[in-house]
Structure 1
Amino acid sequence: MNISYKVQRYIILFGFLTVPLVLLCMFSLYPAVSLFYFSFTEWDGLGFDQKWVGLANYKEIFMRPEIFGAFKNNLYYFVGGILQTAIALYFAIILNGRLRGRYAFRVLLFLPYVLHSVATVIMFKNLYHAEYGSINVFLGAIGLESWQQMWLGNPKLVNYSLAFISMWKYFGLSMVIFIGALQSIPRDLYEASTIDGASSWQSFRFITLPSLRRVIELMLVLTLTGALEAFDIPFIMMLGANGTSTFVIQTVDMAFHFEKFGLASAMAVVLLFIVIFFIFIQRKVLFREGN
């Protein structure tokens, strides 16, 4: 049976549209709708015995201060993310220039991002160990024994230590994104500013920063969402112990440790709306349309 070109074209278009939509519904829309439904039920995650409780799960979330108290640990990752973004921009500007060996430096700085989180945590456990860790051994070797710390055992330091791991791991990604954005800026602008007598700081302030406005906005959104959803590093390293539990860790514990999937689903929905709210505020306050 001969099929005309027009029919073949419609079949191909229909196939390319249908398959992604089916996958989207199966792996995104249906789980999202199910999550909202589960948040109104009391369910242990086994079978189909789900008891409808309405807004009871949401009331429990807002009546238990220890649940929202975990966000104070997320703040460490947010501040670390802001600092990481600024440092990544600095290195991106340097490595975007005519520095000898810049490609090797780019690879070395990007390498931590491609490492698995488990491997990263194992590396830093050897770095932070109180007895044979590299930091304390180095401090002892140069006569600074008083600076030696229990980097993971001290509740006042442990969140800073974990936030630094996150900064180290995701620094390379931020740098590469900035390098790509910097390479899209026409060189003529910098040449014209040099002819006009502009300093390096003035070129950065009036050419580089305005040109990177959208990219910086994207990086701040990624930093905010990454900080609110911090999970892998504190969970793998500490299992949320010693005051390192984040909101997502509490959500996972609520579901799989305490077997309260309904309450955990409600916590996930609350986190979703918190992320949307802060992104909205960020766009309206820091990056007003038309500025």
Structure 2
Amino acid sequence: MKGDDTGTVMTDAPGTAARPATAPPPAARGRAPRGVRLWRGLTPWLFLAAPLALLITFTYAPVANMIAYSFTDWDGVSPDLHYTGAENYVELFTRPELFQVFFVSGYYLAASVVQIAVALYFATILSFDVRFRNFFKGVLFFPYLVNGVAIGFVFLYFFQDGGTLDSVLGLFGHHSDRAWLGTPVSANTSLAGVSVWRYTGLNFVLFLGAIQSIPGELYEASELDGAHRWHQFRYIVLPGIKPVLSLSVILSISGSLSAFDVPFIMTGGATGTETFVIQTVKLAFQFNKTGLASAAAVVLLLIILAVTWVQRRLVPDDKVDLV
């Protein structure tokens, strides 16, 4: 055997190739110290520490306490509470009047259908090049930025006898002495209309962002093929926004079941407008039945989760490839 000046070892045996000398492993040449590697592994968790602490403190810990209170007879004031097992849940499911308030959610569910349709209509129109579209975007989204309590007080004066609505109707020659918040049907219809006005902007922004994420080449190709606006909406827009539309439906259903702030401010649950959440709040703070109210909140949470699961099973979120 012999070696050259570069340190490569050569073999003199016939029929064998030259082999370089064994090089040191890469890990031995550039491996970071153990302390540095440990710090790099901990860095992501340090960034997540504050959000996780807030999430656990203000979300998971209260939910855990709520579930624990649902198995007690706590009144919300006394330091003493006694374990009662499933007695609160038995009372909930054996008292029909506690679940009758869910019929009120039907008004808000119908209103959510209207607001999704209106939001989808305007999002489709304003996604194209039309005049003053930025102005109309702001007009549609502005109601969602207003605080719910302020909305409740504004529409309380809007629907009162001789209020803004009656004055506007009087300009068109229709003089009505109807109490808009005086009967269950008219009151719930009015409150559902307020929810349409308030949440249409949220759905509008979600739909508009999803529509604008669709490649523009698809619209150009469809126009070359002679497609009209309806064809573009049916075969391009709807498949492209299917995940966002599914999310909007889930939010609308959960919001319909948990409506609280506007009906609580405007009617306080009177005249047949009491929702399940208003009833739960009254059980806890008016009748001092925190254990029963906690059980009702747990049941509402389970109902929303069940509805969401069923909706996801019926309409799976399949990825649609339009290109």
Same fold (TM over 0.5): yes
Of 215, 237, 240, the residue aligned with 2:244 is 215
Q: Report whether the alignment pairs 1:106 with 2:137.
A: yes
* Aligned mates of 1:232, 1:247 — CA distance in 2: 12
Q: Is the 8 A contact 1:81 1:223 kept in 2?
A: yes
Aligned to 1:205: 234
Unaligned runs of 5+ residues in structure 1 are none
Q: Is the 8 A contact 1:127 1:134 kept in 2?
A: yes
Q: Report whether the alignment pairs 1:84 with 2:81.
A: no
Of 95, 118, 124, the residue aligned with 2:149 is 118
**CA gap 1:279/1:14 in 2 versus in 1, 3 angstroms:** closer
Q: Report whether the alignment pairs 1:137 with 2:153.
A: no
Aligned to 1:267: 296
Q: Deviations over 1:175-230 (max 9, x none)?
A: 11111111101111111111111222111111111111111100000000100110
> What is the letter of the counterpart of residue 74 of structure 1?
S
Deviates more, 1:78-87 or 1:7-16: 7-16
Q: Report whether the alignment pairs 1:29 with 2:60.
A: yes
Deviates more, 1:66-75 or 1:11-20: 11-20
TM-score (norm. length: structure 1): 0.93
Q: Give the number of aligned pairs.
A: 287
Over alpha carbons, which structure has the higher Rg?
A: 2
DSSP-derived class of the 1:70 partner: helix
Of 118, 127, 132, the residue aligned with 1:96 is 127
TM-score (norm. length: structure 2): 0.84
Whichever structure has more helix as a proportion of its residues is 1
Higher relative contact order (CA 8 A, sep 6+): 1
Q: Is the 8 A contact 1:88 1:174 kept in 2?
A: yes
> What is the letter of the counterpart of residue 20 of structure 1?
P
Please show how residues 221-236 of structure 1 align to structure 2 within 5 Å: 221-236=250-265
Q: Is the 8 A contact 2:108 2:256 kept in 1?
A: yes
Unaligned runs of 5+ residues in structure 2 are 1-34
Deviation at 1:63, TM superposition (A): 0.8
* Aligned mates of 1:286, 1:79 — CA distance in 2: 19
> Alpha carbon RMSD of aligned pairs, Å?
1.9
* Aligned mates of 2:94, 2:147 — CA distance in 1: 37
Identity of aligned residues (%): 44
Deviation at 1:150, TM superposition (A): 1.1
